[in-house]
Copies of this chain bind each other. A is one copy, B any other.
């Protein structure tokens, strides 16, 4: 059990995360969508995140460059949305082979800049180096009022579990074209009613487990309440939906749904509730039976598309 191939992504990240530093201004380091730190001398927190987007892992050489750019910066903006923060600065490290068309790189940057502009983020720098295939390493910061970041760790037993949109089937195109839920994330933070939040990048089953591990409860999902693109299997495991997954007290659920519809139109789905069975993730099927949701987490170093995590 010594190589990445043997222990897998999550075990390796845990070992590396154990080495990370501490600081009095640092509120949250490893283990959430972004790191969160107080901006000294202000009442503002700053969030930090980074995501790689790699050819033949996160996109194909035949994908349109503007869409590759949208995905590269969209993943970072989605992490910022998951904290309820306003995006701020973006930097991009590009790795590319000699044969890379510069015109295609410019189109990737067009995609990055278009999504940045839409959400008030600004691309301010980066670097370019030679490698064997195209990679984009995107770094982003955001801001929000001090102490208000929505973490994975706040879910409470009895909470309703929500998702902001349909899950599954992102491979058909949404994994490139998704729009990060920035406005929705800020709205949810400002509502003061959300207990825990993250974005769905590794699939509902895996990401809900992250919330449960951080918060200490279990969950019972309702199969027919989950908005789906495709089958239940798709909704649970496909990943790269980049919708927000969050919990709030059952008593506030209706008001939250009503305000949501006022502001964003479509229905806000309640897909289950937090139970007092630690780390037990179950689902009630259409026929009323309850099953355990299998743990089939996507991990890098296993052959499949996708995946994102702050260490």
Query: Which residues from chain A sit less than 8 Å from chain B, CB to CB?
Result: 2-5, 7, 9, 12-13, 15-16, 19-23, 26, 29-30, 34-35, 37, 39-42, 44, 48-52, 54, 57, 89, 91-103, 105-106, 109-110, 113, 116-117, 121-133, 135, 137, 139, 141, 300-301, 307-311
Report yes or no: A21 in contact with B124, Cβ–Cβ below 8 A.
yes
Chain B residue at smallest Cβ distance from A44:
B41
Residues of B within 8 A of A54 (CB): 95, 129-131
Chain B residue at smallest Cβ distance from A96:
B4
> Known: A126-B310, A127-B308, A129-B54. Is A21-B113 also a contact (CB below 8 A)?
yes
Minimum CB–CB distance for A61 against chain B, Å: 14
Residues of B within 8 A of A96 (CB): 4
Residues of B within 8 A of A137 (CB): 50, 52, 93, 137
Report yes or no: B37 in contact with A99, Cβ–Cβ below 8 A.
no
Residues of B within 8 A of A16 (CB): 94, 105-106, 109, 126, 128
11 extra interchain contacts, Cβ-Cβ under 8 A, other than A12-B105, A130-B301?
Answer: A4-B98, A7-B102, A48-B141, A50-B92, A50-B126, A50-B127, A54-B130, A93-B93, A93-B137, A128-B309, A132-B133
The 26 listed contacts between A and B (C-beta, < 8 Å) are: A2-B101, A4-B96, A4-B98, A16-B106, A16-B109, A19-B106, A20-B113, A21-B113, A21-B123, A22-B122, A23-B124, A29-B124, A35-B125, A37-B89, A42-B42, A50-B93, A52-B137, A54-B130, A57-B131, A126-B311, A127-B310, A128-B300, A129-B300, A130-B301, A131-B135, A141-B141
> Known: A42-B41, A98-B5. Is A125-B57 also a contact (CB below 8 A)?
no
Complex CA gap A17/B131 in Å reads 20
